């Protein structure tokens, strides 16, 4: 409850802070303010202790996270072995795809330091979406663009190191 303990004479509400944060997230770009307000209102803040799992591989927790504060490690388990995949830090948004449909996590996310996240779940997201039917097109558009951007960057920066995995590329062509 850090934000509440920091009350001063003209405090801004958690809702307003959430709204500011959501406006910076690419996934929500192009969404009109009226709808974004509903999302900002429905979001909750969760604190995770050091080494606590934020989500776990193979589970469908149906949540998207924005790291307000802290650091988290993405892991992948294969045949009992854990591989560290990458790190997320303050300001990263994780799991937009989860909001759109039932998917099981391919990775686990574990907090490295004490971490505070803004969390939105699929139930709230889809209930809101039902109220603003035009929205889905905008979100699909943002999603398609970000997948496209991802692969374009991968090709530009990493393709030469890829070797055999080259034949598996083409996520933008699904």
Q: Name the phi and psi angles at 43, rounded to 5.
A: -60, 150
Q: Which of 14, 75, 92, 151 binds other proteins (CB under 8 A)?
A: 14
Residues 6+ apart with CB under 8 A from 94: 64, 65, 66, 67, 88, 109
Q: Is position 38 an interface residue for other proteins (rule: CB under 8 A)?
A: yes
Q: Name residues contacting other proteins, limited to 93-152 (CB under 8 A).
A: 102, 123-124, 127, 131
Q: For tokens 């854990």, name the residue.
A: 82
Please count the residues of the chain. 174
Which among 12-20, 83-91, 149-157, 160-168 is the span making contact with other proteins, rule CB under 8 A? 12-20
Measured distance CA(99)–CA(70) in Å, rounded: 22
Residues 6+ apart with CB under 8 A from 145: none
Q: Which of 21, 61, 112, 143 binds other proteins (CB under 8 A)?
A: 61
Measured distance CA(158)–CA(48) in Å, rounded: 33
Min dist CB 89 to other proteins, Å, is: 21
Q: Is position 171 an interface residue for other proteins (rule: CB under 8 A)?
A: no
Which of residues 3 and 146 has its CB atom nearest to other proteins in the complex? 3
Q: Is position 49 an interface residue for other proteins (rule: CB under 8 A)?
A: yes
Q: Coil, strand, or helix at residue 100?
A: helix
Q: Is position 42 an interface residue for other proteins (rule: CB under 8 A)?
A: yes
Helices (H), 56-134: 96-100, 122-131
Q: Is position 52 an interface residue for other proteins (rule: CB under 8 A)?
A: yes
| Binding-site ranges for other proteins (CB under 8 A) | 1, 3-4, 7-15, 18, 34, 37-38, 41-42, 44, 46-47, 49, 52-53, 58-61, 102, 123-124, 127, 131
């Amino acid at each position: 409850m850090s934000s509440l303990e920091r009350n001063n004479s003209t405090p801004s509400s958690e809702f307003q802070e959430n709204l500011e944060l959501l406006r910076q997230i690419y996934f929500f770009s192009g969404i009109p303010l009226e709808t974004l307000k509903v999302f900002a209102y429905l979001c909750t803040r969760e604190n995770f202790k050091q080494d606590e799992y934020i989500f776990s591989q193979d589970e469908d927790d149906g949540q998207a996270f924005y790291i307000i504060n802290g650091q988290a490690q993405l892991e992948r388990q294969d045949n009992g072995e854990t591989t560290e995949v990458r790190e997320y830090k303050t300001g990263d948004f994780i799991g937009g795809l989860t909001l759109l449909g039932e998917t099981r996590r391919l990775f686990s996310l574990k907090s490295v330091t004490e971490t505070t996240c803004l969390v939105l779940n699929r139930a709230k997201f889809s209930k809101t979406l039902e109220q603003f039917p035009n929205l889905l097109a905008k979100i699909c558009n943002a999603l398609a663009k970000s997948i496209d951007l991802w692969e374009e960057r991968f090709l530009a920066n990493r393709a030469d190191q890829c070797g055999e995995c080259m034949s598996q590329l083409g996520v933008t062509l699904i």
